[in-house]
Amino acid sequence: MARKRNLFFFRLSTLKYLFFGIFLSLLIFFCQTKVVAQNPTQLNQKGFLQLHQGQASAALQTWQSAYLVYQKLNNTEGMTGSLINQSLALQANASYPRACKTLIQALEMADWVCRPVQLQRFSQTEYQERLNQALENQPMQKVRVIGLRNLGDVLRQLGKVDASSLVLHKAGEIAQNIGLEEPNLLLSLANTERSFYEQAKSKYELTDEPLAKQKALNTAQDKLLASLELYQKINSIPAKLNQLNLLLKSGNTNTHLIHSLVQELLAKEIQFSELPAIESIYARLHLAQCLIEINDKLPTALVLSQKALSLAEKSGNQRAESLALGTLANIYSHFGQEPQSLKYLQQAMGLAQSVQAWDIAYKWQWQLGQLYKKSNNIQNAIKAYAAAVHSLDQVRGSILSINPEIQFAFKDKVEPVYQEYMELLLSQDKPNFRQVIKIQEQLKLAELENFLQCGKIPALSLLDVEKITKLPHLVYLIKLNNRIEVIVRNPQGEFYYHNLELELVDNTIDELIDFTQNQRFNYFAEPNFLFAPQTIYKLLLAPIRQYLPEKGNLIFVLDTYFQNLPMSMLHDGEKYLVDSYNISVASSSQFSLNQPTTPGQLKALVAAIYEESPSFQDSSVPQNLNPLPEVEAEIKNIRKNVSTSELLNNQFTSDRFVQKIGNEPLPLVHVSTHAQFSSDPDQTFVLAWDRPMNVKDLNTLLKRQNNQSMIDLLVLSACQTAKGDRRSALGIAGLAAQSGARSTIATLWLVNSDATAQLISKFYEGLKDGLPKAEALRQAQLSLLSNPKYTHPYYWAAFVLVGAWE
């Protein structure tokens, strides 16, 4: 079994408690008056004792009682200290959202500080500015330093790394101004720098856009060095453990330093017993996980894990017990003792499920699936993988906030669960294709949510849609490791299937995408590029063509790997696919049971820029953008076919655009301005007059309007995918999801403006005549294909319809 680098970061630190003990007088007002409740000093001491023994829930109740006593005494400082103490108990239970709310109450800050990104009603830039302003109002007090440090830790656990850094640096400023030495603050800063590294590393792995990839790599390298330097300055067990773990995880080759840290930590093992109970457990597990990476240290890792398990059982902390059992299972797997590993995994899974710790339950279920598969126990393997996917689905929207380890490791710790499960299902003599499709849809949604970091996206499965309305033929293209799986589902619900080795078509797909992204693509003669679309058709579609109709609607459900492919351009040796089919690309996040707009309801918001705007100079957009004067002709053609409400040039600001959508809900939204799609959400934008609107901004702006109306069709007619980015079309799906549109039309590359104007005109003519969207788009494409001036695929094949085809 492959080694799993499960990290168990300390939620609290020993010095945190020592600090509270030293400065307890700051948190407790010694009141001589007798009150009905217990003495708050005794309550505080009792709470710390409970927390040290691993009884976080009991400690929380005790500190809540202390707060009520301070409240009766009108002791503001005591109330603040009690709230901070309560946050410690909540952190120990991994209840980070509640801990955050408790801390902002203690620090007298607004609740938007803790609000998830998807629920914010202002942009990330505005959030940072507001947070800075709120921090400026913090009084210069020791108790505020403690509170801010804890808030910084919690915000990091919630995935708000930038906010964590701001808060911790402000805590450092106050500490310096009042002459306070706060050693734990340096550890918090080091942990936040580490999260910046993990974040940049994840972006590097997930994006294919060359400039964004290089920027992410540079950031990752800088933050890795910064965090290691900070850990080096701190002489504490948590810092040494985190330093060792980061060295191993980053592939550092400084074996002397790694060996030195291991020896130092093993020599200090006796000090682990002096830590609070929960700290002692996580410290041992943290060190054991590190030692698993070092072959000759497995026996030591076993002893540490067994001791951690014993302590966890005594404390009654079932989450910690589950983590200890899972670590033991990992160790026995490395020893080759599979029965023992299986036993511990089953116990770990049971405990995690009993406390609904789905973020760790899925790991044990996943590993169980791998173990069963290895022993050829296929039915149990399928059950285990199904359970893992179910656990992930339980927390799909919140897992980014409750477990940063997963947030920044989607490629390694989430995606493989779905892919391995689909591989297992397809390896059966009679594959369950419906289940494969269901898992594929869940993976696509999880990937989109990870891309947007937006929480759980409301979605309607194609399998649910087919219960209500008859679906056309569906073609699924799925990439699983070194194979491509092609599944066809016909309107009668029958499935047909074939697969092929990825290497047979991989280079050809790259070749076709390179052709289409070349600025001189329209100058290439057919003999120079036709081999690629013909080869792709021959390998992917020809084997299943007999199961497809001669003409009509065809819905492609594409892996991200295929989404940059212009499917209408595939060629059977005689004609392009668009000659036969009305083509659309499915996105389950966009399917709606709402009825499509009828010809009599056609009214469009047209937002367009055809002059040079200030946003052209924004540092985040590509250089040398040119105005789009032909957009004027495009707008005139739209007016001929539909009623319009318009925002042109300097009227098309980001705020006005969203206000218009909110105040005057229209079924069609047509945007003619520079736009780019990328696998980096920060590089996926639509250019308004004043600034670029990226996908996160669009989500925030639309939520600010509380817009409840469904946009039936969003058209982006002057956009392109980022060059060199194989996953850039993920940005189309992201933008479509954030807009809430039922269907979206976009272009994979920037098309000649004259051709675009003509195609758009024909498309709206088709809608006016009552054609479904997919058919209207196809007729518009064929009108160019039949025009000698525009017959080249450059002019018509870039247009894709994502979402509902009707």
- CB atoms closer than 10 angstroms to residue 235: 9
Strands 719-721 and 675-677 turn out to be: parallel
Name the pLDDT band for 33 (thresholds 50, 70, 90): very low
Query: Cα separation of 581 and 486, whole Å?
Result: 18
Q: What percent of the chain has pLDDT over 90?
A: 58
Residue 7 in this model has a pLDDT that exceeds 60: no
Rounded average pLDDT over 646-658: 92
Which range has the worst mean pLDDT, 432-441, 625-634, 706-715?
Answer: 706-715
Q: What is the pLDDT of residues 736-789, one digit of tens each?
A: 777 778 889 999 988 888 899 999 999 999 999 999 999 999 999 999 999 999
Name the pLDDT band for 8 (thresholds 50, 70, 90): very low
Name the pLDDT band for 588 (thresholds 50, 70, 90): low
pLDDT on residue 28:
37
Backbone angles phi, psi at 370, to 5 degrees: -65, -40
pLDDT on residue 23:
38
Which range has the worst mean pLDDT, 241-255, 491-505, 670-684?
Answer: 670-684
Residue 34 in this model has a pLDDT that exceeds 50: no
Higher pLDDT, 766 or 602: 766
Identify the DSSP state of 562.
G
Q: What is the pLDDT of residues 449-461, one digit of tens each?
A: 777 766 666 666 7
Query: Cα separation of 265 and 245, whole Å?
Result: 12
Rounded average pLDDT over 248-277: 89
Rounded average pLDDT over 490-513: 94
CATH 3.30.420 maps onto the chain at 462-585
Which tokens hold the place of 421?
Answer: 């499960």
Do the beta carbons of residue 118 and residue 56 sit within 8 Å? no
pLDDT on residue 122:
67
List strand residue ranges (DSSP E) for 145-260, in order: none
Which range has the worst mean pLDDT, 140-154, 362-376, 579-593, 648-662?
Answer: 579-593
pLDDT on residue 404:
54
Higher pLDDT, 446 or 323: 323
Contacts of 695 (CB under 8 A, 6+ apart): 452, 681, 684, 685, 731, 734, 735, 738
Do the beta carbons of residue 487 and residue 478 sit within 8 Å? yes
pLDDT on residue 703:
53
Rounded average pLDDT over 491-511: 94
Q: What dotted CATH number matches 462-585?
A: 3.30.420
Which range has the worst mean pLDDT, 92-96, 395-399, 647-651, 660-664?
Answer: 395-399
Residue 40 in this model has a pLDDT that exceeds 60: yes
pLDDT on residue 399:
54
Higher pLDDT, 38 or 544: 544
Name the pLDDT band for 734 (thresholds 50, 70, 90): confident
CATH 3.40.50.1460 maps onto the chain at 599-803
pLDDT on residue 120:
66
Q: Order the strands of the 668-672 sheet from edge to edge.
A: 495-501, 483-489, 473-480, 552-558, 581-585, 799-803, 743-747, 713-716, 668-672, 603-608, 643-648
Which range has the worst mean pLDDT, 29-43, 81-95, 643-657, 676-690?
Answer: 29-43
Listed residue (135, 187, 128) closest to 160, CA to CA:
128
Query: Cα separation of 675 and 694, whole Å?
Result: 9
pLDDT on residue 66:
94
Name the pLDDT band for 92 (thresholds 50, 70, 90): confident
Name 497's bridge partners: 487
Residue 17 in this model has a pLDDT that exceeds 50: no
Rounded average pLDDT over 393-420: 72
Do the beta carbons of residue 377 and residue 338 sit within 8 Å? no
Question: What average pLDDT is seen over the chain?
Answer: 86
Rounded average pLDDT over 493-513: 95
Name the pLDDT band for 30 (thresholds 50, 70, 90): very low
Name 607's bridge partners: 647, 671
Q: What is the pLDDT of residues 337-363, one digit of tens each?
A: 999 999 999 999 999 999 998 989 999
Which range has the worst mean pLDDT, 413-417, 639-643, 658-662, 737-741?
Answer: 737-741
Q: What dotted CATH number matches 599-803?
A: 3.40.50.1460
Residue 79 in this model has a pLDDT that exceeds 60: yes
Residue 117 in this model has a pLDDT that exceeds 80: no
Name the pLDDT band for 103 (thresholds 50, 70, 90): very high
